[in-house]
Amino acid sequence: MKRQMSEHWFSIQLKPVGNMCNLRCKYCYARPHTSAEVIMSYDVLEQVIKKTLQQDYLYPTFSWHGGEPTLIGYDFFYQAMLLIEKYKRPNQVVRNLIQTNATRITPQLAELFKKYNFIVSVSLDGPEHIHGINRVTGESNNSFSQVMDGIKILRQYGIEPSVICTVSRETLPFAAEVFNFLISQGFKKIKYSPVFDSTRDEFSITSDEWFGYLKTVFYEWFKVGDATIQILDLNEVIAWLLKRSINLCSCNRTCLHWVSIDPKGEIYPCEYLREQYYYGNITQMELRDVYYTSSYQEFKKIYETVPPKCQHCEFFKVCGNGCPVTRVRDGKISLDGVYAFCEQRRELFYEIEKVFKSVLGENYIEEKEIKEKEAFVHAVISNVEEETENMKHDDWRALLHNWKKC
């Protein structure tokens, strides 16, 4: 009997060099960066690609991550693309995404990424004086110019990267400046990534600060009124206003649709759950066997438990109780708790709803501005409508699997 392909996407986060990186960002979660780490062998790579493409998913996505994945070099990526061509099944639409610090982008790599339609996201924290606060080289130099050089090369080869911008304690006061810098540089897709990490307290921000930051970004974006700019963190709010759901990692209970694979082939649900849930090794199992492991079943059970607070919440369809590693129960991090930023997230939703309603309703400032803002809000709404329609194979969303990671 002919097997049906699932229309859902399935995303593999591949870490070919593990946590190895050429930079030494001060808030980095990925430690150690040492060159002594194992890098992925060709054999492991082949197993990952072959076993992923054997699954009945129409839209498999490889999300290349690190550390800094480009450290593995051009040949590895070239071999990976040949393997994908070899094992890809008819009708499968394979997508590749990469999260990079952009400092090691070469013309050769950019050409390859362009040829294979990579979706590229670069890590950039803002203008030089803000970026350099944390994102430094091994010699503690600001990595800004190297990053901008990498972005220039990508653009020379026709790749328009999106941006992941990390927000830490020191960069918190610069929400407006960072946003305006990023749009002045022509970035159209921006994802902010807050540092919430109890082990790096000096860099961490509180949930109030985080949502305060997002509010500032929202008002700056609103002021600019350009709907071609997408702020991924705000799309969830707009999706809620439209009574839709959105596949953001940390929003819509999508953790069960992807796995992370390290250089040795070890499989985990996510970098953050590495300690708790180990599924096995790709060299010794089929990828579909992951679903039958006791670890997966245990994770699924706990993940799908909906706490009473969320059961009747109007935001549940879009929030889904947030990222499990940021849930709290009885004052402690616990996967079966409630999303730690629940109240702030709700507040942001209500605030943006209020603004949108006032624009689309009556009594909004002056007539000329009403027209402009109306057009902006309508365009934003139609963008999110379109995205949520295409959600099943929206590979950009899979990038959010990587939120906070770089």
Figure out which of the listed residues 12, 47, 58, 68 binds ligand SF4, where binding follows CB under 6 A.
Answer: 68
Rounded distance between C-alpha atoms, residue 197 and residue 220, angstroms: 27
Q: Give 282 or 342: the residue with its C-beta nearer to ligand SF4.
A: 342
Q: Give 49 or 348: the residue with its C-beta nearer to ligand SF4.
A: 348
User: Residue 65 interacts with ligand SF4 (CB under 6 A)?
Assistant: no
Token couple for 44: 């492991």
Report the nearest approach of ligand SF4 to the CB of residue 320 (Å): 6
Residue where the block lists tokens 């109306």: 374
Q: Give 84 or 270: the residue with its C-beta nearer to ligand SF4.
A: 270
Residue where the block lists tokens 């946003």: 179
User: Residue 325 interacts with ligand SF4 (CB under 6 A)?
Assistant: yes
Find the part of the chain contacting ligand SF4 (CB under 6 A) among 73-81, 113-121, 150-158, 269-277. Answer: 269-277
Q: Give 25 or 81: the residue with its C-beta nearer to ligand SF4.
A: 25
Figure out which of the listed residues 214, 273, 359, 377 binds ligand SF4, where binding follows CB under 6 A.
Answer: 273
Counting every residue, how long is the chain?
Answer: 406
User: Residue 282 interacts with ligand SF4 (CB under 6 A)?
Assistant: no
Q: Give 193 or 359: the residue with its C-beta nearer to ligand SF4.
A: 193
CB 401 within 8 A of CB 270: yes
User: Residue 322 interacts with ligand SF4 (CB under 6 A)?
Assistant: yes
Q: Give 83 or 319: the residue with its C-beta nearer to ligand SF4.
A: 319
Find the part of the chain contacting ligand SF4 (CB under 6 A) among 212-220, 323-331, 352-360, 385-393. Answer: 323-331
User: Residue 80 interacts with ligand SF4 (CB under 6 A)?
Assistant: no
Termini Cα distance of the chain:
44
User: Residue 130 interacts with ligand SF4 (CB under 6 A)?
Assistant: no
Q: Segment 203-242, which members bind ligand SF4 (CB under 6 A)?
A: none
Rounded distance between C-alpha atoms, residue 57 and residue 12, angstroms: 12
DSSP state of 365: S
In sequence order, what DSSP letters do the residues of 132-198 get, joined into one string? HHH-BBTTS-B-HHHHHHHHHHHHHTT---EEEEEE-TTTGGGHHHHHHHHHHTT--EEEEEE---G
Q: Is 226 helix (H, G, I), strand (E, B) or coil?
A: coil
Query: By rule CB under 6 A, what count of residues binds ligand SF4?
Result: 35
User: Residue 279 interacts with ligand SF4 (CB under 6 A)?
Assistant: no
Q: Give 84 or 246: the residue with its C-beta nearer to ligand SF4.
A: 246
Q: What does the CA dihedral 171, 172, 174, 180 come to, rounded to 10 degrees?
A: 100
Q: Give 81 or 194: the residue with its C-beta nearer to ligand SF4.
A: 194
Token couple for 88: 């890809």
Please classify residue 308 by burial: count the beta carbons closer than 10 Å to its beta carbon, then call 0-12 exposed, 13-18 middle and 19+ buried. Answer: exposed
Residue where the block lists tokens 């607070």: 309
C-alpha 62 chain-centroid distance: 13
CB 214 within 8 A of CB 234: yes
User: Residue 309 interacts with ligand SF4 (CB under 6 A)?
Assistant: yes
Token couple for 199: 């082990």
Q: Segment 338-367, which members bind ligand SF4 (CB under 6 A)?
A: 338-339, 342, 345-346
User: Residue 30 interacts with ligand SF4 (CB under 6 A)?
Assistant: yes
Q: Give 276 or 283: the residue with its C-beta nearer to ligand SF4.
A: 276
CB 153 within 8 A of CB 114: no
**Contacts with ligand SF4, residue ranges (CB under 6 A):** 21, 23-25, 28, 30, 66-68, 101, 123, 249-250, 255, 270, 272-273, 309-310, 313, 315-316, 319, 321-325, 338-339, 342, 345-346, 401, 406
